[in-house]
A = this chain, B = another copy of it.
Amino acid sequence: MHPQDLAETRNLPLFRTMLSASFDALMQSAMTQRCPAGQELIRQGARAEYLHVVVEGSVELYAEWQGRRTTMAVVQPVGTFILAACVKDLPYLMSARTLEPSRVLLIPSSDLRAIFRRDPEFAVSIVGELAAAFRSMARHAKNLKLRTSRERIAGYLLKQSALAGGADRFVLQIEKRLVASYLGMTPENLSRALKSLEGSGVELHGHAVTITDRARLAEACEADVLIDGPDSEPLSDGVSLPGPALSED
């Protein structure tokens, strides 16, 4: 494993505060895997053997049922996934595959469980990470249940803009059909709704997005931190993270 990656991993919220001895022990049995695009990393229903950390590339988390399929999340560097299944030693609820050539760090879940019992700081980090994952999934469900597809798309565009540092011009990071699946609609529906949003403050050329009238776009989805995020840091830090202001409900 490259020292660079090791340092980046160490700096993740999940690993930042743990004891060095614990971190080293974890990394001892960890391994890095290099995968081509489209490779299935985990399959829903299988038992969780490794915590996965995306070091490079990107990974889609998706769920399947009766031949239908839906994107649940896209994980980008440096992010972790399937922590919940690992700590409970239960079957994955989602499958994962690479969207592009990627490198993934695999940490045996048995080691993970052993070490978080010994290192309280690590346990605290895991609690934080799990709580964040829960809140992210709760937002996803709220988005699906409370908004129309057009509203979800507008919200998605604003969120992507925020992730791009609040820029008015940015490029969609993932294919539109994946965006559609993530937002719970068909690609055709996404395509039409995107077109209808042109004229509500957005322009699209291929994957390039330009927000021409942020207020109009925000109006189309009534942005709300309790759905769109972000989770700012706890107030105890004294400040919240910089980021675009989202009106409270």
Contacts and interface: CB of A to CB of B under 8 A. Distances in A.
Contact of A90 (B227, B234, B248): B234
B127 A226 contact: no
A64 B184 CA distance: 19
A68 interface: yes
A231 to B, nearest CB: 6
A144 B144 contact: yes
Interface string A149-179: 0000000000000000000000000000000
A226 B93 contact: yes
Nearest to A237: B89
Contacts of A44: 226, 249
Nearest to A126: B127
Contacts of A72: 138, 141-142
B248 A145 contact: no
23 contacts: A44-B226, A45-B226, A45-B248, A47-B235, A63-B146, A64-B249, A65-B142, A65-B224, A65-B227, A72-B141, A84-B130, A84-B138, A85-B135, A87-B131, A88-B131, A90-B234, A116-B123, A116-B127, A120-B120, A141-B141, A141-B144, A144-B144, A145-B184
Report the 10 A-B pairs with minimum CB-CB distance, sorted nearest first: A123-B123, A89-B234, A84-B131, A130-B130, A137-B137, A70-B145, A65-B146, A134-B134, A84-B134, A63-B142
